[in-house]
Structure 1
């Protein structure tokens, strides 16, 4: 059996089980938190703090798990990450309290390591399936996010806490799949840089805190100013430590590669609206025209179905990406995905009075989301050496997380600047948000213009990578 999954479809099938777990974990808690909060005594502020904690875990664990994978072996770290997610899901389901929800959500943050670590194994074991495999995995991820929320919401209709068990069986399946995966063959390199890890963790923590709470504090308030100073100083110190280290936590020299730099910037712009607007999208769909003056007046199940339709469009965009990229090239794909996202948000700005009109823009944004996630994850793999694969994908994941967080923060600020009756949001707040998201997505499209396509794929499916300096390879034994 091990030989059967060493390469090709068998390998992708096992990886798919792990990605399904990642999607379910990312999608099932969001619709449950209000009801769960009522049952266990967590108010709106407490729920916001839990969200902040999960965002912090995502930001911190992305570079840590990626680097540890490149140092100690992708399969070994993948097993640890999956075990963390499974344990966190079980803890939340068995005894939901404020403390267990906090600890469980931090453990679940290890899902951010799944894609970088899987990319490292896929590249070394089945490079000929790299592009197709990555696009399929992204499509499955998007479908799983939508399906996880729908299943959890349905289970919680009978009992508020029943939906908390949604992720547990998927965590068990993913853990079994992680132990069935073969080890990667890429050489390991480097040592762990603890001072850099501490500075990066504190700096990202200050930044995420500022982005999440800046709207409620006031962007010009003293706490926001202190948060901005702390984030700037800590991250500047981190960059200085990394540049002076022989074994950096994040090899910043990777960003000297203009192709990786453009890919990461494009990812940031695409995620800004496509992911940053997801929460506001649900609020708009649930708003009632007779009371708020806008919205669709949909219930929880209907909103979940719209979200599922969006991720289905994302699945179609993701799986179509490899064929399109072979025909038009990577540069054209970056331009197309950016323009498609901009077109979707422009459509929402102009046409949002009826559900069919709204769905046109929403589905365009969903398709653009699937395309950019598949394209940028694949490209971030191909522009570096195998020893830096997980770290390169991790940089891309970090750009995605920061783009989504900053997008959500700016959208929140725009909403706060357009208050509506009863503490809601006035209609112009949405118009401004859609317009800004369209502009940033168009900026992502423009970033594709200076991108230079690499050489065509060789027979084994690999592309020549840009050498990463200063690495001392060693055999991987994970």
Structure 2
């Protein structure tokens, strides 16, 4: 896209302001996903509910994101990205207030559903960047916005730990903090992000959105609740079977509808498909790191023979914050790597760093410096991975499909995070210490953490396979300049080059 009438210095200032506003919005939405993780125990005690019921505080956000992200990403492409962004951020503000004021679990879950809808911010933000940022600056801008996702997830854990560290801690303070951040992001988008010029128009494929939403619900629900329901229970197996059936229905619907929500040719286009598989694996690794390290360092060494007796506050600030900060600092580096060497190289580096970081955790989690150092390496890996995936997608799909394509990739990362959470929880619950003093609750064995970290290393090794084999060829190898690949129609290429 040309900005020839505007002086280069003014272009740079304008682009910086837009990237700042969208980075803030992306950071805030990523905070919403991990915000309640450290305070689920407080919520359970305060509202007098069970562990199984309180898990819906995290599950509800995931399911809401799965339903609304593809629909709103496509809606923004069709009817205007800024109005959609503003509306979604407004819903997030309302959801945060509802969660902060909730006096019952159903109301809190409602607030979390509204917060989850805001996950659509990320693909919308990338679509805005594609229109407003010069091609040579686009990889760096996308990488910075993407890097704030990993940073926001870690920041939420740290901030929640700080706010709930006292003896009279109130979990609602975390949701009031979320309200403030959401309002700040809303104001930034309203005043700093311009109205986008590209609108495709057309009908909204509500039938496609409905069938996709049901498919994702039936897939993600047993993944997130399988530990409580039992992995071999009728509910879990029935949900997975229902997801398979609905996936077939969704594909049939999208092949028949005149203006489908998802173009099936785009969906199975190799670079897009590989980016989505990488999204699942990187999302898995990020949550395996967050949860594995958080649980590990809080283990009472006197009872278990390992761990650091850390409080929630110490676990967040000392062990998780360094990795979150490095993930933010690594994002512009990832952008430069994508720009000069291509997203495939960035993804390969992410894979190598992730595998090394998790192997380090598996072999050396008995020392504070090792746990922190390995977490820093994994944080950089996640940031490079998040920088590479949007670049692969943006260079592989036409302009009018960028919102929905990045929306699907966002769902793939959320799916990976859900799988990571389920795997870590299941492993730690199944491998426990046999001989503990009477009255002491069950605690995970050290072997459970070692296995978790080796699985994380395997996930990133699979990312290396995707980078080396799945993205072999022209797509994903050239430096991303924000233009579609040969798969995109010629008019679309002309409009953004």
TM score, norm. by length of structure 2: 0.88
Shift of 1:130: 1.6
**In the alignment, what sits opposite 1:79?**
86
Distance between the aligned counterparts of 1:200 and 1:280, measured in 2? 31
Shift of 1:321: 0.6
Instruction: Choose 382-391 or 122-131, whichever is displaced more.
Output: 122-131
Equivalent position to 2:457, from 438, 442, 459: 438
**In the alignment, what sits opposite 1:357?**
370
Conserved 8 A contact 2:346-2:387: no
> 1:75-474 to 2 correspondence within 5 Å?
75-128=82-135, 129-156=137-164, 157=166, 159-160=169-170, 161-180=172-191, 181-305=193-317, 306-421=319-434, 422-450=441-469, 451=471, 452-454=473-475, 461-467=481-487
Give the superposed CA RMSD: 2.6
Distance 1:194 1:164, change over 3 A: closer
Distance between the aligned counterparts of 2:242 and 2:485, measured in 1? 36
Conserved 8 A contact 2:40-2:55: no
Distance 1:228 1:23, change over 3 A: closer
Instruction: Choose 81-90 or 285-294, whichever is displaced more.
Output: 285-294
Shift of 1:418: 1.7
**In the alignment, what sits opposite 2:43?**
36
Q: Which secondary structure state, in structure 2, belongs to the residue aligned with residue 42 of structure 1?
A: coil
Conserved 8 A contact 1:253-1:468: no
Shift of 1:116: 0.5
Instruction: Choose 291-300 or 152-161, whichever is displaced more.
Output: 152-161
- Consecutive unaligned residues of structure 2, counting only runs of 5 or more, are 1-5, 435-440
Distance 1:36 1:228, change over 3 A: closer
Q: Which secondary structure state, in structure 2, belongs to the residue aligned with residue 188 of structure 1?
A: coil
Distance between the aligned counterparts of 1:407 and 1:144, measured in 2? 18
Conserved 8 A contact 2:221-2:239: yes
Instruction: Choose 63-72 or 142-151, whichever is displaced more.
Output: 142-151
TM score, norm. by length of structure 1: 0.91
Conserved 8 A contact 1:276-1:405: no
Instruction: Choose 106-115 or 399-408, whichever is displaced more.
Output: 399-408
Q: Does 1:8 align with 2:15?
A: yes
Distance between the aligned counterparts of 2:327 and 2:112, measured in 1? 26
Shift of 1:466: 4.2
- Consecutive unaligned residues of structure 1, counting only runs of 5 or more, are none
Distance 1:235 1:133, change over 3 A: same
Aligned length: 470
Q: Which secondary structure state, in structure 2, belongs to the residue aligned with residue 166 of structure 1?
A: helix
Shift of 1:456: 5.4
Distance 1:345 1:405, change over 3 A: same
Q: Which secondary structure state, in structure 2, belongs to the residue aligned with residue 446 of structure 1?
A: helix
Distance between the aligned counterparts of 2:334 and 2:61, measured in 1? 30
Q: Which secondary structure state, in structure 2, belongs to the residue aligned with residue 113 of structure 1?
A: helix
Conserved 8 A contact 1:344-1:365: yes
Shift of 1:277: 4.1
Distance between the aligned counterparts of 1:343 and 1:394, measured in 2? 29
Distance between the aligned counterparts of 2:19 and 2:384, measured in 1? 19
Distance between the aligned counterparts of 2:115 and 2:456, measured in 1? 29
Distance between the aligned counterparts of 2:270 and 2:202, measured in 1? 23
Distance between the aligned counterparts of 2:356 and 2:442, measured in 1? 30
Instruction: Choose 166-175 or 77-86, whichever is displaced more.
Output: 166-175
Post-superposition Cα deviations, 1:106-144, rounded to whole Å, max 9, x if no partner, equal: 000023111100111111111333211122223334333
Shift of 1:74: 1.3
Distance between the aligned counterparts of 2:78 and 2:426, measured in 1? 40
Distance 1:28 1:403, change over 3 A: closer
**In the alignment, what sits opposite 1:18?**
25
Distance between the aligned counterparts of 2:479 and 2:311, measured in 1? 48
Shift of 1:367: 0.9
Distance between the aligned counterparts of 1:102 and 1:300, measured in 2? 23
Distance between the aligned counterparts of 1:62 and 1:140, measured in 2? 18
Distance between the aligned counterparts of 2:300 and 2:169, measured in 1? 26
Conserved 8 A contact 2:52-2:228: no
Distance between the aligned counterparts of 2:356 and 2:479, measured in 1? 31
Post-superposition Cα deviations, 1:298-321, rounded to whole Å, max 9, x if no partner, equal: 111111112111111211222211
